[in-house]
A and B are shown apart, each in its own frame.
Chain A
Amino acid sequence: MTGPFAWFKWEALFAEWTVFGEGALMTLAASMLALALSLALGVMFGVMSTSHWKIAKAISRIYVEFIQNTPLVIQIFFYYHGLPHLGLSLPVFSIGVLGVGVYHGAYISEVVRAGIQSIPKGQREAAYSQGLNYVETMKYIILPQAKRIVLPPLANQAVSLVKNTSVLAMIAGGDLMYRADSWSSQNLYYGPAYVTTGILYLMLCLPLASLARNLEKKAEVHA
């Protein structure tokens, strides 16, 4: 009887380390693209949710509530199984980026909204009184101040985002989680496969988490 972590299993894993290396790179790439997408969506919908334009506010609300209150897995399955019926077949990597980006965009939108609302209304009034319009006021006065407040929670969102790219495994996305799954289901060396995968995720996320902590400390100093 051999244990789940028998040495020969580790040897097999090290011999085929590129499987995991490529998976980690794929996860990293999907994470960075999804993060860029979620930031763009988050800032856009976050700003919309604070505007006085009722339609913009409503659209933002619907997006946030719809995305936050359904599981990410179902959203991914919709893009994977649903969209082709509507004549749109996306590659799995794009589905991962889109799915995770749209999902975290909703959370980032709420972070941005809270950040904007935390800026005293006198700032807006001072800018308006000098003849700045809404967009100028947002761009030069409100968002630069909100940025300091939202950076720590944004870094936390980035950590969740990296971990959530693992849903790609469910649609054969070629990411780290998927590679670990498929590699170990062939040889049943689950132990080393999942420990290694866990450590790789940790290596991706720990720097982000410590960045979040540092930003939080900095924000406290400035407050």
Chain B
Amino acid sequence: MIALKGIDKHFGHHHVLKNIHFHVKSGEKVVIIGPSGSGKSTLIRCINLLEKPSSGEVHVDGIEITAHKAPVTKVRQSIGMVFQQFNLYPHKTVLENLTLAPVLVKGVRKEEAEETGMKYLERVGLKDKAHAYPAHLSGGQQQRVAIARALNMHPKIMLFDEPTSALDPEMIQEVLDVMVDLAHDGITMVVVTHEMGFAKQVADRVIFMDEGKIIEEAKPEDFFNHPKNERARLFLSKIFR
């Protein structure tokens, strides 16, 4: 479903990603962890080309989107993304946030987009906020709306870039609950997070990154109980005190 082949990324003199090879099968849940600055956010942003790799290939659903004149906007329609800072459209109501892209770029009828939108809002527990503006919602509510917004495009893949890092502690669980619920759906998920509980609960595979490289790749029970790499061990010991 997703294949990154030999990805390098430079920001000026910073070599952020170093020869990354990364594959995700259809329906797989992959959690990426690692210290800050390890390149995990850059990696996930390469999957939908919000970050353009300096070299290497990105394939999504059989299409090489790094190719010249690749149908990038088309492919992005099938990849939902949830950001650390929510990035809801502040000038639109919650429901308009959900319907804007489906109507505009997928040509879905407005009534239909609203109908499915309400279903997703119900699923994230925010049906009663459909006509509120994002500024009137809490951080946790905004992030749940952001997830519903992504789902209303009926994506094949969902990317989560530190979805709970900007939230107050008491709001983290409500967002994780929605993500766990979503994981049971069989959708392909790639999640960058510091929530180890979530990783243990839903991940098929955990990827540990440090200094722009994938250092360890394992099933969650193996990774958390018997990390092979010294840096991974150190990282885990700092997180589980």
Partner of A129, one of B76, B85, B106: B76
Contact present for B79 and A129 (CB under 8 Å): yes
Contact present for B105 and A136 (CB under 8 Å): yes
Interchain nearest-CB distance for B92 vs A (Å): 9
Assembly CA distance A162 to B104 (angstroms): 39
B54-90 CB contact bits vs A (8 Å, 1 = yes)? Answer: 0000000000000000000110110111010101111
Assembly CA distance A125 to B91 (angstroms): 16
Question: With an 8 A cutoff between CB atoms, is A5 at the interface?
Answer: no
Question: With an 8 A cutoff between CB atoms, is A71 at the interface?
Answer: no
Contact present for B153 and A130 (CB under 8 Å): yes
Contact present for A123 and B105 (CB under 8 Å): no
- Please give, as numbers and ranges, the residues of chain A lying within 8 Å of B104 by CB-CB distance: 132, 136, 140
A127-141 CB contact bits vs B (8 Å, 1 = yes)? Answer: 111111100100011
Interchain nearest-CB distance for A100 vs B (Å): 32
Contact present for A125 and B87 (CB under 8 Å): yes
Question: With an 8 A cutoff between CB atoms, is B164 at the interface?
Answer: no
- Please give, as numbers and ranges, the residues of chain B lying within 8 Å of A132 by CB-CB distance: 73, 101, 104-105
Contact present for B105 and A140 (CB under 8 Å): no
Q: Report the interface size for chain B: residues with CB under 8 A from the other chain.
A: 24
Contact present for B89 and A131 (CB under 8 Å): no
Q: Which residues of chain A from 146 to 183 have any CB-CB distance to chain B below 8 Å in the complex?
A: 148
- Please give, as numbers and ranges, the residues of chain B lying within 8 Å of A125 by CB-CB distance: 50, 83, 87
Contact present for B87 and A131 (CB under 8 Å): no
Assembly CA distance A126 to B48 (angstroms): 11
> Which residue among B100, B149, B150 has the maximum number of chain A CB atoms within 10 Å of its CB?
B100
Partner of B101, one of A120, A130, A145: A130
Contact present for A145 and B77 (CB under 8 Å): no
Assembly CA distance A68 to B20 (angstroms): 49
Instruction: Please classify the interface of chain A as helix (H, G, I), strand (E, B), loop, or mixed, using the class held by over half of its residues.
Output: helix
> Which residue among B88, B89, B150 has the maximum number of chain A CB atoms within 10 Å of its CB?
B89
Assembly CA distance A123 to B92 (angstroms): 12
- Please give, as numbers and ranges, the residues of chain A lying within 8 Å of B73 by CB-CB distance: 128, 131-133
- Please give, as numbers and ranges, the residues of chain A lying within 8 Å of B79 by CB-CB distance: 129
- Please give, as numbers and ranges, the residues of chain A lying within 8 Å of B81 by CB-CB distance: 126, 129
Contact present for B48 and A129 (CB under 8 Å): yes
A126-B83, A130-B76 known; A145+B91 contact, CB < 8 A: yes
- Please give, as numbers and ranges, the residues of chain A lying within 8 Å of B74 by CB-CB distance: 131
B97-126 CB contact bits vs A (8 Å, 1 = yes)? Answer: 000110011100000000000000000000
Partner of B77, one of A120, A126, A130, A141: A130
Partner of B50, one of A129, A140, A148: A129
User: Nearest 6 CB-CB pairs, A to B?
Assistant: A131-B77, A130-B101, A126-B87, A122-B87, A129-B81, A131-B76
